[in-house]
Amino acid sequence: MLLKTTSLHPGRSHRASSDTLSVVVPTRDSAGHIDVFLAYYRANDIPVHLFVDARTSDATAAIGRRHGAAVTIFRMQGAVVEEAIEAISKQAAGRWVLRIDDDELPSLAMMAFVRRAVATGDCPNYAFPRFQCGIGNDRSLLRNLAFSPLVHRQPRLYRKDAVEYTPSIHTPGFVRSDSSAAANAPISAFMIHLDWTVHSVEWRTRKIEQYDAVEPNGGSQWRDFYLIEENALAQLYFEALPTAEFVPVARALAARFPEALVRRPVAGMPSRWPLAKS
């Protein structure tokens, strides 16, 4: 059962029945930040099913249970999440699956869109805009303008009987059975990605190496995306993403990851590394 907490939108639920929609979060060794993300889901009455890789060596599963998430321990085959989507989908209770990574969060507008899409059933697969985000040293949520959310759309909502699964990297882990592309959700139905904040440079470098091991250049081709520390241009282009529901998330992450905070450069000044060093 989901724990009862105060929602930012009293009286409005972001639930769908568990046999209709499963919000799944694959994760491994995320004890350093997963509580902040689960607190967001709980505060907004969004039930989630945490799929914890059996190779996890920290308290991820216990934290998930404390926050009211359903928790399944599973052994992921391979090194990348795409290889686990079929197994996760088969264990998820819902006819529809919304997959969110453990360093991402859906906006409430996105969840409202998801509920409508599942209710109408007009299309079996949707892709969502995703903002690459950081946390400012004023504890605000910032979006990076070097990476367009419309280019980085994520096909994450799907009806299980309408897809075929694939382990191919940089895919959602499935393709439509009828070979059609995912329908695009509007920009208002966005998600945020906080990889740069919650994962160290070393962690993100290992991720590149894991993708390269699966497919030549599979990770290195996206090095500028994963390692903003090496992307001097992208570091200069942050602006506020003023969304009320993410204020508690931004404040909590600012306190926990001060070394990753973004210093927004002053107009007219020589460019500097905006990632705060503490």
Q: What confidence tier does 198 reach under pLDDT thresholds 50, 70, 90?
A: very high
Q: Rounded CA gap, 31 and 2, in Å? A: 20
Q: What is the DSSP letter of 144?
A: E
pLDDT score for 1: 22
Q: What is the pLDDT of residues 53-96, one digit of tens each?
A: 999 999 999 999 999 999 999 988 777 888 899 999 999 999 99
SS (H, E, C) 225-269: HHCHHHCHHHHCCEEECCCHHHHHHHHHHHHHCHHHCECCCCCCC
For 10, the token pair is 């009293």
pLDDT reading at 52 higher than 80: yes
Strand order in the sheet with 141-144: 104-106, 191-193, 130-135, 141-144, 238-240
Beta strands in the chain (DSSP E): 21-27, 49-53, 70-74, 96-99, 104-106, 125-128, 130-135, 141-144, 154-159, 163-165, 174-176, 183-184, 191-193, 238-240
Give the model confidence (pLDDT) of 89-142 as tens digits: 999 999 999 999 999 999 999 999 999 999 999 899 999 999 999 999 999 999
pTM of the model: 0.88
Mean pLDDT of the chain: 87
Domains in the chain, CATH or no CATH each: 21-260 (3.40.50.1100)
Q: What is the structure's pLDDT at 11? A: 37
- CA separation for the pair 210, 58 (Å, rounded): 20
Supply the pLDDT for residue 15.
Answer: 59
Report pLDDT digits (tens) over 163-194.
999 988 888 898 888 888 889 999 999 999 99
CA distance 231 to 239: 17
